[in-house]
Amino acid sequence: RKEVEQDPGPFNVPEGATVAFNCTYSNSASQSFFWYRQDCRKEPKLLMSVYSSGNEDGRFTAQLNRASQYISLLIRDSKLSDSATYLCVEGSGTYKYIFGTGTRLKVLA
Amino acid sequence: EPEVTQTPSHQVTQMGQEVILRCVPISNHLYFYWYRQILGQKVEFLVSFYNNEISEKSEIFDDQFSVERPDGSNFTLKIRSTKLEDSAMYFCASSESRPTHSPLHFGNGTRLTVT
């Protein structure tokens, strides 16, 4: 089983829609997770850190379900500028961050 | 806002040549990393560095790769004899604390093209 798994998408949604991505992880002891946004040929940029049950920042909400070992990202009122790849990242207990493959989102006008 | 800076932004080299990719991590960060991303693929871990030594490395980080922190600010990745399959975007990153406690901050990346 892969350490961090994401549906690659693409998710095509109309402007204004609510969209949710899930990410599953295999290490039940993991404590910290992050969502990053990556635009084409650019560096990943931190969107949100998730250390406990969840986090909210404006239109973005992340939730951590430890029992089922998944993290979700909810985007409300999608904007055209939200089109990007969203990366789920596990902050492992060792000295590395483990990346999922990313989920592509396209917000359509 | 403090940034991780990388140079050059694009490096073209011939197979078999040595390349050095340079990075200046955020000044108060203690943990440094190199990741790479082949076009269209996932971000892959190469190596982490803490307290002037390698903390962890992946299978990709073989004897052709090395890292160095030659002074108090720079962090470099050297590829001794480049192969075609080394063509990728190389990202330097740093974190204030361990992965369990703080997020990763990336530089803009160096696009390495091996011909």
Contacts of B40 (CB under 8 A, 6+ apart): none
A36 vs A53: which has the higher pLDDT: A36
Of B43, B56, B95, the CB nearest to A94: B56
Residue stretches of chain B with pLDDT short of 70: none
- SS3 for chain B is CCCCEEECCEEEECCCCCEEEEEECCCCCCEEEEEEECCCCCEEEEEEEECCEEEEECCCCCCCEEEECCCCCCEEEEECCCCHHHCEEEEEEEECCCCCCCCCEECCCEEEEEC
pLDDT of residue A93: 79
pLDDT exceeds cutoff 80 at A1: no
Q: Tell me if residue A80 falls in helix, strand or coil.
A: helix
Query: Which residues 5-44 of B have a C-beta within 8 angstroms of A?
Result: 31, 33, 35, 41-44
Whole-angstrom distance, CA of residue B43 vs CA of residue A34: 14
Q: At A109, which amino acid appears?
A: A
The helix or strand, by DSSP H or E, that contains position A78, with its residue range, turns out to be none
DSSP A16: T
> Taking CB atoms and an 8 Å cut-off, how many pairs form between chains A and B?
69
- The answer to whether A9 contacts chain B (CB < 8 Å) is no
pLDDT of residue A94: 82
Contact predicate B86/B37, CB 8 Å: no
Contact predicate B61/B77, CB 8 Å: no
For residue A62, what are the β-bridge partners? A55, A73
Per-residue model confidence as pLDDT tens digits over A42-97: 999 999 999 888 899 999 999 999 999 999 999 999 999 999 999 999 998 789 99
Q: Which residues in chain B have their CB less than 8 angstroms from residue A98's CB? A: 45
